[in-house]
Structure 1
Amino acid sequence: MTITKLLAGAALAMTLMSGAAKAQDWLPEELNVPLSEITIGFSSLGAGVNSYVATYMDAFESYAAELGVNTVTLDSQADPARQSDQIRDLIAQQVDVMVIWPTNAVAVVPSVRAVHEAGIPVVITNSEIDETGADFFTTFTGPDDYTQAQTAGKLMAEGLSGEGKVVVIGGLPGYTVSQRREQGFRDAIAEYPGIEILDVQPGNWSREEAQSVMESYIVRFGDEIDGVYSADSDMGIGALAAVQAAVAEGTLPEDHEIVFTDCTLFGAAYDAIAAGDYYGSVLQSPIADARAAVEAAVLVAEGVEVEKIMHFDSPAVSAANISEIDRPTF
C-alpha cells in the first residue's frame, strides 16, 4: 500500500504523490482566469522549523511552477510579528489569493481579517486559526490534528496495555497544532485510568530541544517513565536518543521498556518502528499538505466554491503495518 492510497480520502490530494498532477482532474473545464495570470501570496511558517516544513515549501513552489502559477513566498521564521508585517506586504502587492500557514492561531486573526477586508481570499494551510477568524478565510486545508493525537493516544494505550506513566513533549506554545495534538492525546488516554501524565513540556518542533527536554525528564522521573508522547516524530526521535544515551550511561536500566508514540511520521521514526525501538506514529505527507493548499488557492482564484474545512486522512503506523507503508522522504 502506498502513501497515495493511504491519503486517498482527501479530495484535493487524490493525485498528489503520483508524478505530474493532471489539472483536468480537479480544475473546471473552463478557466475563468489563465493559470499564468494567477499570483498566490504565501506567508509560510518557516523552512527552518523542521524538515516537514522544508519539504512542504519545496513541494508548494514546485507544484505551483508545474501548473504555471505565480507565487510570492515569504518566510515568517515562526515569528508572529514578522508574519503580520509580511501579510501586509502581500496585501500591498495585490496578490490574487493568499495562503497563510499561521505561526499563532490567535495572533494571526487581525492579519487574516485585513486580507479579507482588502478583498483577497484566504486559504489557511496546515494549522487552523482561532474561531474568531472563521469569517475571514475561505477554506482550510490540512490534517486533523486533534484526530491524529487521539490516534497516537490509542497507540500509547495499546503499547502500555492500558497502564503506565507518560511524559509529553509538545510543539510550539500558542500554536494551534501544538494545542490540538496535546488535547487529542489527553482525551484519548483519559479513557484509560491506569495511564498517568507526569508532565508536559514544549520541544518547539526541534529534535535537539526535545532531546534536552527528555534528558530533564529522565533526571526528574528516571525509570518511572513508561511512555513518551511527542507532537511529531522528529521530536520523538530526539527523546529516543536521550533514552538510549541514558541506558548506555547506566542512568536507566537496560531492561526498562519505554513506549514512544507521536503524530506525523518522519523517516527516522519509520526506521525506528521497523527496528522495534519505537512503538507507533501517524502518517502525514507534507507533499500532500502543500499540494492541497496550492490546488485550493487556484480553485478559489478561479471562483470555484470549495468546502470550508478540508482534512486528509492520517492512518496509524506501527509494527503491525510498517511493511505496507512507504518510508517518508523527510
Structure 2
Amino acid sequence: MKKVTLLAGLLAATTFATGGAGHAWADSAHPVIGFTVYDMSSFISLGKRGAEAIAKANGGTLLWNSAGMDVNTQISNFQQYINQKVDAIVVAPVNSATLAPQIAAAKAAGIPVIVTNLTAAPESKPDIVTYVGPDDVKAGEQEAQHLVDAIGNKGNIVVLQGPLGQSGEIDRTKGIQNVLAKNPNVKLLAMQPGNWARNKAYGIMQDWLSRYGSKIDGIISENDDMAIGSIQALKEKGLAGKIPITAVDGIKDGMRAIKDGTLLETNLQDGPLELGLAVQVAINHVRGQTVPQPAAMIIMPELTKANIDHYYDQMYGNPSAFIEGLPALVKSNLASGQFAHQ
C-alpha cells in the first residue's frame, strides 16, 4: 500500500507556547471549550465527532454552535462564550477578517482562542494562541498538479472556488495559481466561487458545459462537495469519469467518487483529526502545557485509487474504531509533530 509522506521534520522547526501560571482557570481538570463553526458542512459534521471524543477523553465539556455561514451569528456565538466564561474558544471562521474585535475581547476576558480550518486574519494573530489546520496553499498545489499531469500539461480547465475571502479559498486558489503559472500550456477558461456547496457547483457546471462544451479538459474543485455537484452535472451529459476532476476534503462521497472513477484525486482534510487536534490544543493550553507555535500545520495526504481503500476503511469502514483511537492518536501526533499521521 502506498505510504503518504507526512510532515517530517516539522517538529524541529516548531516552537511552543504554554498557558502559563498566570491563568486562573476554574477547573482545568474539567475544561469547558466553546466551539463555533462556519456551518455544518459535510467536513464539519464529520469533524464534530472527533471534537466531542477529545473533549470527553479529557473530562471536558464541549459547547457547540454553527454560524450557518452568517458572520453576525458567529459574532454572537463568541459573545455567548465570553459571557459564559468558557475556558477556551475554538473557532472555524466564516470569515477570518471579521472576527478581530471578538478575538481581542476574548483575550481581554482571559479566554484563549484557537483558530482552526481557516487561518486568522493578520490583525488577529497577536491575540490568538495558535492555528490548527491545513496548509491550504499546499493542498491547492497538489490538486492542481495532479490535474495538470492528468491532462498531459496542456489543455483547458475550469476552477470552482470556495467563498471569496475565506482563507481556505484564498490559499487554495493561490496554490492552484502557483501551478498554473508554471504550466503556460494549461489555459484557464473560467474560475467562479461555488461556496463549498453541491447545488451551487451543479448550477455553475451546467452553465460551463453549455458555454464551453467539449473545450473543458479538466476541472479543479476546491472541495469535494463542489466536485460532487459538478459530477452530477457531468453525468447528465454522459461525461462523468471522462473529464478529470481533482478536489480537497476526503469526505465519504468524495472517496466513493474516487472508487467509482468519477473523481481523479482528492486531498484528505480529516475532519475528526483536525477538529479533535484543535480541541486537544485548547485543553493543553488551559492546563498550562506546551502547544505548537505559530501553528500545527497539517499537510493533507493525496488520495487516489492507489491508496483510497486504506483511508476509506479508517474513516468510513469502521469509523467508531477510528474515533475510539483518536485521543491517543492526537496526543501522539502532537508529540511527534506529524500532525496528519493516521
Give me the TM-score of the superposition, normalised by structure 2.
Answer: 0.81
How far apart are residue 7 of structure 1 and its match? 8.7
Of the three residues 297, 307, 328, the one matched with 1:311 is: 297
1:71 aligned counterpart, secondary structure: strand
1:278 counterpart residue number: 263
Q: Which amino acid aligns with 1:266?
A: I
- Does the 8 A contact of 1:36 with 1:70 survive in 2? no
How far apart are residue 268 of structure 1 and its match? 2.0
1:326 aligned counterpart, secondary structure: helix
1:39 counterpart residue number: 32
1:197 counterpart residue number: 188
1:25 counterpart residue number: none
- Does the 8 A contact of 1:115 with 1:121 survive in 2? yes
1:20 counterpart residue number: none
CA distance in 2, matches of 1:57, 1:302: 22
CA distance in 2, matches of 1:72, 1:257: 45
CA distance in 2, matches of 1:157, 1:44: 33
Q: Which amino acid aligns with 1:199?
A: A
Of the three residues 259, 281, 285, the one matched with 1:296 is: 281
- Does the 8 A contact of 1:35 with 1:68 survive in 2? no
Q: Deviations over 1:48-88 (max 9, x none)?
A: xx211111123212331232102222221121111112211
Matched, 1:228 2:214: no
Q: Which amino acid aligns with 1:41?
A: G
CA distance in 1, matches of 2:146, 2:266: 8
CA distance in 2, matches of 1:294, 1:70: 11
Q: Which has the higher contact order (CA 8 A, sep 6+)?
A: 2
- Does the 8 A contact of 1:261 with 1:281 survive in 2? yes
* Range that drifts further, 285-294 or 33-42: 33-42
How far apart are residue 310 of structure 1 and its match? 0.5
How far apart are residue 269 of structure 1 and its match? 2.4
Matched, 1:265 2:267: no
Structure 2 vs 1, CA of residues 74 and 7 (structure 1 numbering), >3 Å: closer, same or farther?
A: farther
CA distance in 2, matches of 1:87, 1:7: 37
How far apart are residue 212 of structure 1 and its match? 1.1
CA distance in 2, matches of 1:7, 1:76: 35
Matched, 1:156 2:147: yes
RMSD of Structure 2 on Structure 1 (CA): 2.5
1:29 counterpart residue number: none
Identity %: 26
Q: Deviations over 1:294-317 (max 9, x none)?
A: 110011101123222111231222
Aligned residues: 301
- Does the 8 A contact of 1:226 with 1:257 survive in 2? no
- Does the 8 A contact of 2:114 with 2:128 survive in 1? yes
Structure 2 vs 1, CA of residues 319 and 71 (structure 1 numbering), >3 Å: closer, same or farther?
A: closer
CA distance in 2, matches of 1:60, 1:243: 35
2:69 aligned counterpart, secondary structure: coil
How far apart are residue 130 of structure 1 and its match? 1.4
- Does the 8 A contact of 1:7 with 1:314 survive in 2? no
1:126 counterpart residue number: 117
Q: Which amino acid aligns with 2:36?
A: S
Q: Which amino acid aligns with 1:127?
A: L
1:303 aligned counterpart, secondary structure: coil
- Does the 8 A contact of 1:121 with 1:137 survive in 2? yes
CA distance in 2, matches of 1:126, 1:160: 30
- Does the 8 A contact of 2:4 with 2:302 survive in 1? no
- Does the 8 A contact of 1:269 with 1:278 survive in 2? yes
Matched, 1:74 2:65: yes
CA distance in 2, matches of 1:297, 1:7: 27
Matched, 1:56 2:41: no
CA distance in 2, matches of 1:97, 1:321: 37
How far apart are residue 323 of structure 1 and its match? 4.3
1:85 counterpart residue number: 76
- Does the 8 A contact of 1:10 with 1:310 survive in 2? no
- Does the 8 A contact of 1:45 with 1:75 survive in 2? yes
2:182 aligned counterpart, secondary structure: coil
Matched, 1:185 2:142: no
